[in-house]
Amino acid sequence: MRRLPTRSTGTVRRRVVGAMAVAVLCTGGLVAVPASATPTAAQAEAPPAPDEGPALTPPMGFNNWNSTHCSADFDEAMVKGIADLFVDKGLKDAGYQYVNLDDCWALPSRDANGKLVPDPARFPNGIKAVADYVHSKGLKLGIYTSAGTKTCSDIGFPGALGHEYSDAQQFADWGVDYLKYDNCNNQGVDAKQRYTTMRDALKATGRPIVYSICEWGENKPWEWAGDVGQLWRTTGDISDSWGSMLSLMKQNLPLAQYAGPGHWNDPDMLEVGNGGMTDTEYRTHFSMWSVMASPLLIGTDLRKASDETYEILSNHDVIAVDQDPLGKQGTVVSSEGGRWVVSKEMKDGSRAVALFNESGSAQRIATTAKEVGLPSATAYAARDLWQHKDFNTAGTLAATVPAHGTVLLRVAADPKWAAYPPASELGLDEGVFVEPGAAAKVTATFTDLGRTPARDVAVSVSGPAGKGWAVKAAGPTRASEVPSGKSLRTRWTVTPPAGAATGAYDLTLRATYRSPQGTKVTSTVPVTASVATAPPSGASDLGDLPWLATSNGYGPVERNTSNGEDGAGDGNPLTIGGTVYAKGLGVHAPSSVDYYAARSCERVTAQVGVDDEKDTKGTVAFEVWADGKKVASTGVLTNSDAPQSLSADVTGAQVVRLVVTDGGDGVDSDHADWGDAQLDC
Ligand code: GLA
């Protein structure tokens, strides 16, 4: 995967932008520490930070990095503009507090006295003026530097290594309330030592300053930084892509036990609103960061943000999950086939429950009140935190979740449950795969999950608007009552027009019903219908066959070349262990490629491995799935492995999926080739 071009940790540099950073081996060499690194007498006598400590809930605010990097957009006008919008748009009321400056705020050289100098082009009035402005709005100001000789930007602004006490004092004098302390150009000095020195320097100023450790998880800060900083990055840098966000989430989820009030896991700042993901994906990003009790640092230029972006970032119900005073990070209840259930214990005894669909098509995700840790009860209240509606459930928590989507619930053993309408579940029993002009039979099921009956139930299915699809019910679509735990099942015939192009289409399932008290509920579920043609009989090259859907760590899945990480067609010949394959697929972990097999195929075969273009570090595992069941897999393969033969029995499958995982160590350099991949039908 990509690396930043010229930035260096000073020792072995393996910094990456995007989904995952790999370990930096700091060589432990010490640098001479100038006198300014030791406290002056006055500083040493400064009062200790208050006992309570800051950041008792995860810090919320803004940081410019994800939207501007070091571009000219990053300046005083931006910072003030964001502070204004925090107030005007209700974000301050929603809990956002810190307005943080990232790299590139300074000049490349210190002044004659060793002081940091704000860049006069960006901050003509200095940092104190900006801090005063931000404070005048009732907000707080954050700043950035590196625990190294220079910061991370290519230009290399001064870092604080060896200047900890004087830089910290300068920040305090300006009125800074938050410091993000990066890891570049660290000269191999022990991380614990570097980060602890700055902690002590901040403490010596006497000003409460939230301390954000940004060493990318390389030295497992969760194991030692609980009394060093209030938050620590657990991952490499986020980028504005689904693959990056997902990878960081997966690295951060297992660290739940280390998070708590005043010491948080930080899987990096938000990308919501930056345009590289869909709003569904951004809602997942925001939901999952909140369930993980992550810092919520807005990373988009709010001066240009859409209403939808504001709506996501100011969802009070979701923010309340993040900011819950108990301070628990959610834990994984189950994860299989891309269906994730993550549950966060809340101070009031309720649970925030994320039903997250990692996969590229809608699927049912289900759990129970018991599984998410709630005590046994007759029924529960469940609030849908994106719909802002309350329901009652007898215990089942289930939904058809759109591709890459998250249904976020807050569930409580609440004696008031009967006041809410019954929760329901609506979905298709199986995926819809249909050939142009042919009829597909599908079953839609409405189930009452509540303890009370659903009355006047009506279910409908509609095809994509204006595209000429015929949809007919072959059974009753209404019921005067669906009792607790019971279902209304309806067979439907769905026919795309004969000229329909192959591809994915949105069908809409809708149910309306009333609670016993008469409250009307409408529930709408988007499901995907795939128009596809059966593969020809005999052996077909998967590098040439049309696919149903793909997802890929970097860039698109490539046909008959390796994956070059960026645009289509930027790869090389597929090459594993010196063998070149004219046909096949070039992907980047995490990846999946779905083919329609029309229940008429028998076998997938391929020669698989890490492409030779990556010299080291690539570790991947290959899997073949048939209709949601894993039917073949390799172990973890690395660059030094010869091509491995893979053969999978896919007899009778409707959909065959080729999967590449990251081999368990993150996605860096994971260029994976499916050489000579064929489907036999
Ligand atoms: C590192 C950090 C980022 C950002 C940049 C600035 O990559 O991890 O979050 O601060 O440096 O150069």
- Same domain membership, residue 220 and residue 237: yes
DSSP SS3 for 192? helix
Scan for tokens 């030779």, then name that residue.
612
Looking at the fold, whether 264 and 118 belong to one and the same domain comes out as yes
Determine whether 665 is an active site residue.
no
pLDDT greater than 50 at residue 73:
yes
Q: Which pLDDT does position 196 carry in this prediction?
A: 98
Angle at which helix 164-174 crosses helix 126-136, to 10 degrees, equals: 50
- Average pLDDT score over residue span 296-304: 98
User: Looking at the domain assignment, is residue 133 inside a domain?
Assistant: yes
Give the residue whose CA is nearest to atom 1 of ligand 1: 152
504: in domain: yes
Q: Are residues 116 and 67 in the same domain?
A: yes
Q: Are residues 560 and 547 in the same domain?
A: yes
Give me the helix-helix angle, 279-291 and 242-252, nearest 10°. Answer: 10
Last residue of a domain, one of 420, 446, 464: 420
- Which of the four pLDDT bands, split at 50, 70 and 90, describes residue 53? low
- Of 103, 237, 266, 662, which is the active-site residue? 237
Whole-number Cα distances in Å, 229 to 266, 282, 315 = 11, 28, 28
For the chain, helix, strand, coil in percent to 5 are 20, 35, 50
| 124 and 252 belong to one structural domain | yes
Q: Which domain holds residue 203?
A: 35-322
Q: Which CATH number is 348's domain given? A: 2.60.40.1180
Pocket of ligand 1 contains residue 167 by CB under 6 Å: no
How many folded domains does the chain comprise?
4
For the CA of 216, the nearest atom of ligand 1: 8
Q: Are residues 456 and 546 in the same domain?
A: no
Residue 1 has pLDDT above 50, yes or no: no
What does the pLDDT average to over 365-394?
Answer: 98
Q: Which two tokens stand for residue 347?
A: 């101070």
Closest ligand 1 atom to Cα of 15: 7
Rounded Cα distance, 665 and 661, in Å: 10
**Do 440 and 496 fall into the same domain?**
yes
Q: Could you tell me the CATH number of the domain that includes residue 116?
A: 3.20.20.70
pLDDT per residue over 238-263, tens digit each? 999 998 899 899 999 999 999 999 99
Residue 271 tokens read as: 């990308």
At 532, which amino acid appears?
A
Give the dihedral of Cα atoms 23, 24, 29, 35; nearest 10 deg.
-110
Q: Tens digits of per-residue pLDDT, 131-151?
A: 999 999 999 999 999 999 999
As a dihedral over the C-alpha atoms of residue 155, residue 161, residue 162, residue 163, rounded to 10 degrees, the angle is: 70
Same domain? For 433 and 285 the reply is no
594: domain CATH number is: 2.60.120.1060
Give dist(CA 27, CA 10) in Å, integer: 10
- Residue identifier of the C-alpha nearest atom 8 of ligand 1: 237
Highest mean pLDDT among 23-37, 429-443, 593-607: 593-607
Q: Is residue 566 flagged as an active site residue?
A: no
Closest CA to 318 of 284, 269, 276, 362: 284
Residue type, 538: G
Residue 65 domain flag: yes
What totals of helices (H) and strands (E) does the chain contain, helices first? Answer: 12, 39
Q: How far is the centre of ligand 1, averaged over its atoms, from the C-alpha of 182 (Å)?
A: 7
Residues 613 and 523 grouped into a single domain: no
Q: The tokens of 180 are what?
A: 């993000």
The verdict on residue 1 lying in a domain is no
**Which of 293, 322, 351 corresponds to the end of one domain?**
322
Chain centroid to CA 588: 18
Instruction: Specify if 247 maps to a domain.
Output: yes
Model confidence at 663, in pLDDT bands (50, 70, 90)? confident
The answer to the question of residue 6 being in a domain is: no
Whether residue 42 is predicted with pLDDT greater than 80 in this model: the reply is no
Q: Is 103 in the pocket of ligand 1 (CB under 6 A)?
A: yes
Name the more confident of 668 and 56. Answer: 56
Contact between 238 and 220 under an 8 Å Cβ cutoff? The reply is no
Average pLDDT over every residue of 634-644: 95
Regarding the beta carbon of 65 and ligand 1, being less than 6 Å apart is answered yes
SS3 labels along 347-368: CCCCEEEEEEECCCCCEEEEEE
Q: 146 C-alpha vs ligand 1 centroid, how far in Å?
A: 9
What whole-number distance in Å separates Cα of residue 183 and Cα of residue 196? 13
Q: Is the CB of 102 under 6 A from ligand 1?
A: yes
| Predicted confidence (pLDDT) per residue in 387-398, tens digit | 999 999 999 999
Annotated catalytic residue, options 75, 103, 177, 182? 182
Nearest atom (ligand 1) to Cα of 214: 8
Which of ligand 1's atoms lies nearest the C-alpha of 268? 9
Distance from Cα 103 to the centre of ligand 1, integer Å: 7
**Over 43-85, what HEC string results?**
HHCCCCCCCCCCCCCCCEEEECHHHHCCCCCCCHHHHHHHHHH
Considering 498, 514, 531, which residue would you say is the last residue of a domain? 531
Q: Tell me the DSSP string of 225-267.
A: -TTT-SEEE-SSB--SSHHHHHHHHHHHGGGGGG-BTTBEEE-
**Distance, CA 184 to ligand 1 centroid (Å)?**
9
182 Cβ below 6 A of ligand 1 = yes
> Which ligand 1 atom sits closest to the C-alpha of 269?
9
pLDDT at 36 over 90: no
The first and second tokens of residue 302, run together, are: 């709010």
Instruction: Tell me: do 493 and 570 sit in the same domain.
Output: no
Position 108 pLDDT exceeds 50: yes
pLDDT of 76 reads: 98
490: CATH: 2.60.40.10
- Domain-located, residue 89: yes
Above 80 in pLDDT, residue 523?
yes
Where do we find the tokens 């819809």? 432
Same domain, 314 and 374: no
Same-domain pairing of 178 and 113? yes
Mean pLDDT of 160-182: 98
Average model confidence (pLDDT) across the chain: 91
Residues 6+ apart with CB under 8 A from 518: none
Q: Which helix (H) or strand (E) holds 174?
A: helix 164-174
Q: Given this model, what pLDDT does residue 360 score?
A: 80
pLDDT by residue (tens digit) across 318-331?
999 999 999 999 99
Q: Where are the alpha helices (DSSP H) in 253-397?
A: 279-291, 307-313, 316-322
- Is residue 13 in a domain? no
Q: Where residue 301 falls among pLDDT bands split at 50, 70, 90? A: very high
Contact assessment for residue 155 and residue 104, using Cβ atoms and an 8 Å cutoff: yes
Report the run of H or E that residue 523 belongs to, with start and end.
Answer: strand 520-531
Residue nearest to atom 3 of ligand 1 (CA): 237
